[in-house]
Amino acid sequence: MIARTIAHKVNELLGKYPIVSITGPRQSGKTTLTKLLRPDYQYVSLENPSDRLFAQQDPVGFLETYQNGVILDEVQYVPELFSYLQVYTDARQRLGEYILTGSQNFLLMEKITQSLAGRVAIFNLLPFAVEELQGTAYLSDDWESQLIQGFYPRKLVNGISSEDFYDSYLQTYIERDVRQVKNIMNLDLFQRFIRLLAGRIGQLFNQNSLGVELGLDNKTINAWMSVLETSLVAIS
């Protein structure tokens, strides 16, 4: 198993805060990391319709059922939980009681700052860093090939081709995350926007050039770039 550089600090702060939050893009390894750090914790994915419905309809019953060591995955899908988490963790005073994960950084951070400020330690987990892959079979000497392949854990470990992985990843990201963050009417055009950006990696961000190619104004280009940045898919 490849060690993640934030693991030690996450483990440390689980002993100092009632809640730890780990955000990051989809498939960056959040669930794997949390389960490795706390294999004894109950795991609940709020992408699961039945668990999500339970949390939405009866947040009190949900937090009574799942307490004293719980991983709540994709917790941004149930924003109703955050105010209840504040009340319950204040009352229980248990350190490291909850680990929250989410792939929609904007929605998750919005709720954390509203309800859980001072009660939560916050971490971002990106795909593998080069330093994490040192000494493994997954780090190539061919840096150009490595850049094209990328550093997403599932893709590297399972040897998934770039075509298969990124086509599916892009579709999932747009359908599940982009729709939640911003009301973008033309998702096909947004997908083309992402592909054009991918071809400009390492260059200066030029909204005028992108706007001309896509037939969009600078305001829209900047708003769409903000969506990618808040979901940790792009860094400008």
pLDDT digits (tens, 9 = 90+) for 103-159: 766 667 777 777 788 899 999 999 999 999 998 989 888 888 888 889 999 999 999
- Specify the DSSP class assigned to residue 77: G
Report the pLDDT value the prediction gives residue 105, as an integer from 0 to 100: 64
Asked whether residue 90 carries a pLDDT value surpassing 70, the answer given is yes
Average pLDDT over every residue of 28-32: 94
Average pLDDT value for the chain? 90
Terminal Cα-to-Cα distance of the chain (whole angstroms)? 31
For the chain, give the percent of residues with pLDDT over 70. Answer: 96
Please give the residue that has the higher pLDDT: either 233 or 29: 29
> Cα 55 to chain center, whole Å?
20
pTM: predicted TM-score of the whole model, two decimal places: 0.87
Query: At 148, which helix (H) or strand (E)?
Result: helix 143-149
Within 10 Å of residue 27's Cβ, how many Cβ atoms? Answer: 19
Residue (of 124, 72, 231, 37) closest to 84 by Cα position: 72
pLDDT grade for 175, boundaries at 50, 70 and 90: confident
Whether the predicted pLDDT of 176 surpasses 80: no
Count of other CB atoms within 10 angstroms of residue 176: 15
Phi, psi of 101 (to 5 degrees): -125, 155
Looking at residue 58, what is its pLDDT?
A: 96
Residue 99, SS3? strand
